Amino acid sequence: MPLAGISFHPISARIGAEVRGIDLRNPLDAATFERLHAALVEHQVLFFRDQDIEPAHHLALARAFGEPVAHPAYPTVEGFDLINVLEVTPEAPPKIDTWHTDMTFQARPPLGSILRAKVVPDRGGDTMWASLFAAWDGLSARMRSYLEGLRASHSFAHGFRHTLAEPGAMERLRPAIEANPPVLHPVVRTHPVSGRKALFVNRLFTTRIVELPEAESDAVLAFLFEHLETPEFTCRFQWASNSIAFWDNRSTLHRPVNDFWPANRKLERITIAGDAPR
């Protein structure tokens, strides 16, 4: 597909764009990569349709942007230990129903993730994304200056506390808990490419703003979580088989909408290594 064929079509005013005119089975040339990279930073989440790709194409796209990383808790595609399988069945209901940024329990949370739909339900099962730039820009100047310089604790054990309550889960996940003690991140991070500021806390993993007394931290975080989830900061994507979503994990939250269960859904995800927020 020639470079001139690529085009980007925003799906809301603040976040999300559909990419047309690209076939991800073809190698990504330098110019195409540059356009995709710039579009990812600008639109924060890119959507692709009708991409009948192999796992190797999925990996090649991820590797153009960085090093794929394994997840401590999810199963993988056979023969591809860097591609996680996120599968919902009648016996295995969806576990996460909370807005979050992926893996902020790590000192270097991912740059982004590339999620590909293999099996989609007939109805429902959309995913939503929210812009951390729009959330930051949407705060008052007073609140922005109050938050500058604060740090928050992010916890794997907190994020997976419901899973950990299941029989046998504590034994299975103990190594992951021990390998991922809570970490601190700035409440306001600066995007390493665009320089834009992002409100970097999330309801799933963020537990405490460490410079504040506990009650004040709880109240401020409750306000920020609700603010981040303002519908006008979000976009919503309806999956079809061979749809792909590629989000910038440095500037977004996302959440599944679990209105399809007990129908089946199977997604495959590659997560790309990121840098320490600052």
Binding residues for Fe ion, rule: CB under 5 A, are 102
Nearer to Fe ion, 45 or 147 (CB): 45
Question: C-beta of 73: minimal distance to Fe ion in Å?
Answer: 11
**What is the rounded distance in angstroms from the CA atom of residue 187 to the CA atom of residue 253?**
14
Q: Which is nearer to Fe ion, 98 or 230 (CB)?
A: 98
- Residues with a catalytic annotation lie at 100, 102, 254, 269
Tell me how far, at minimum, the Cβ of 109 lies from Fe ion, in Å.
11
Identify which of residues 32 and 127 has a Cβ nearer to Fe ion in the complex: 127
Query: How near is the Cβ of 164 to Fe ion at its closest, in Å?
Result: 17
**35 Ramachandran zone, left/alpha/beta (phi>0; psi -120 to 50):** alpha
Which contacts qualify for 225-230: CB closer than 8 Å, 24 or more apart?
Answer: 225/99, 225/201, 227/135, 227/138, 227/139, 227/199, 228/99, 228/130, 228/132, 228/135, 228/199, 228/201, 228/202, 228/203, 228/253, 229/99, 229/130, 229/203, 229/253, 230/130, 230/134, 230/135, 230/138
CB of 56 to Fe ion, least distance (A): 23
- Return the number of the residue (102 or 268) whose C-beta is nearest Fe ion: 102
